[in-house]
Structure 1
Amino acid sequence: MEQLGRRGFLVGVGVVALSAGMALPASADRWPGRYSANGWPVRAKGLTEVGVEGSAAAMTVLGGAVATLLGHVARRFHYEVAELGPGDIHSHTTDPRVGAPLESNYLSGTAIAILPTRFPLGATGGLFPHEIAVLRDILADCSGTIRWGGDDPTTPKEGHFQLDVPPREAAQAAHTLTSAGTIPDPFAPTRRSRALALERRQRRR
């Protein structure tokens, strides 16, 4: 897998799996492949439960770099966007029913849906501009390895975050994260410029 180029690795086909407890649309279908839409293998093992620092929220995701990166996203979301509690994050599932391609990434343990009832599939406008700016800064913190569901051009999901790179790139980015407990200023000029540059790159793909 690591020998594939970024674009080739990310090629995916089909529709998405939802976590347990999430409402499925009438059009929900079964994800047919052995890989989720972001190119990671669909799995039932090798997962880990990760608690979100400072909250009672937890998620089940692939261990290692994936857990580090998605844990960073959830931690900053909790401190800077909205407080999270038990059941506020949907993550890995073995239920193959899907509602849109991005959700298939729950099957591989490489995606989370934060506050899924507040940010349902296909809905937009659930975040204020300053909250979106924070999310853009979080993505930049993760060196572009995480993609935000709000950018999906077909079926957006504003609480969704997924791995967007192969394992090697994910491992490299996990080592560069801001230390836990640190809350940066997402509006500092250098950070804002970095976040906007990443937004332009990710929207082009």
Structure 2
Amino acid sequence: MGHITRRTAVKSTTVLGLAGFTGGLLAAPAAAEETAPDAEDTARPTSLNGWELVERTNHISTVWTRPVPGTECSIDVCTGDVEAVLVHVIRRFHYEVDELRKGDVIGWRAPSEVKKTLTESNQASGTAVQIRPGFYPAGSKGGFFSPQLMVIRDILAELDGVVRWGGDDSRPDESLFSIDVKPADARLTAVVEKIRVWKDTPGKGAGTPVDVRASGRRKAAKALESRQRGTAA
């Protein structure tokens, strides 16, 4: 057995002490990482349709300025699936309801500019647009002729209720069209896939004439109208 000097014993004791002290320091962050944050700490404010509010656009954001092909318009909109759907709505409106010009469509609005209890709050998450709000002011009805209204109902029906028209709300806003499902809803994904197929298929999609008076399309439109009126905000 080797001889242990006083110096060796002191050195060994110091190393062990430091090891224990260091272990204590490392243990605290590990324990903190395992502590789940409270739901209140992680919850973020959302618009009426359940999408997260956005304070700024075009800067570390989900909302960016996007063109609407075939029109002079561009909109601030939640990119991806929401963009695909709302752009489709605007294009059909442009081709079949009334021609749109630059500035006719308003997308995102700051959270401070909308009423959080109304459907217009969806604009603050980039998931709604107003088409010619000056022509169809909030609170009034009857802004569209019957053939135009038939097209609007057809647009909503072909999108399987993923979009809601503000004209059906208890306080109507006939200029407003908004996403009516929450994030990650399978219906949104399915509708976007349909739009993509239409874009790649000659004779399909926005800009292609459709018979909105066809019995099947009218039946679907009326059924959706009844459902969405029944859930008026």
Category of TM-score, reference length = shorter chain: 0.7 to 0.9
Taking CA–CA contacts closer than 8 Å with sequence separation of 6 or more, which of the two structures ends up with the larger relative contact order? Answer: 1
Q: Distance in 1 between matches of 2:111 and 2:227?
A: 32
Q: State yes or no: 1:145 paired with 2:145.
A: no
Q: Is the 8 A contact 2:136 2:173 kept in 1?
A: yes
Q: Distance in 2 between matches of 1:173 and 1:95?
A: 27
Shift of 1:128: 0.8
Shift of 1:94: 1.9
Q: Which protein is bigger by CA-based radius of gyration?
A: 2
Q: Identity rate of aligned residues, in percent? A: 41
1:56 to 72, 87, 95: 72
Shift of 1:165: 0.6
Q: Distance in 2 between matches of 1:128 and 1:180?
A: 21
2:97 to 61, 81, 84: 81
* Number of aligned positions between the proteins: 172
Trace 1:46-195 onto structure 2 (pairs within 5 A): 46-99=62-115, 101-153=118-170, 155-167=171-183, 168=185, 169-177=187-195, 178=198, 179-195=205-221
Inter-CA distance 50–187: structure 2 relative to 1 (3 Å threshold): farther
Q: TM-score, normalization: structure 2? A: 0.70
Shift of 1:200: 1.2
**Secondary structure, counterpart of 1:176 in structure 2:** helix
| 1:21 corresponds to | none
| 1:24 corresponds to | none
Higher helix content, 1 or 2? 2
Shift of 1:53: 2.6
Name the amino acid aligned to 1:151: D
1:197 to 205, 211, 223: 223
1:40 to 32, 48, 51: 51
Q: Distance in 2 between matches of 1:136 and 1:87?
A: 24
Name the amino acid aligned to 1:160: L
**Secondary structure, counterpart of 1:49 in structure 2:** strand
Residues 150-187 of structure 1: CA distance to partner in whole angstroms, max 9, x if unpaired?
Answer: 0001x111010000012322122111234344232211
**Where does structure 1 differ by over 6 angstroms across 4 or more consecutive aligned residues?**
none
**Secondary structure, counterpart of 2:225 in structure 1:** helix
Q: TM-score, normalization: structure 1? A: 0.79
Residues 19-53 of structure 1: CA distance to partner in whole angstroms, max 9, x if unpaired?
Answer: xxxxxxxxxxxxxx811111111013112323223
Residues 49-77 of structure 1: CA distance to partner in whole angstroms, max 9, x if unpaired?
Answer: 23223210111110111001100100000
Name the amino acid aligned to 2:216: T
Taking only aligned residues, the RMSD between alpha carbons, in angstroms, comes to 1.6
Name the amino acid aligned to 1:130: P
- Structure 1: gaps spanning 5 or more residues: 1-32
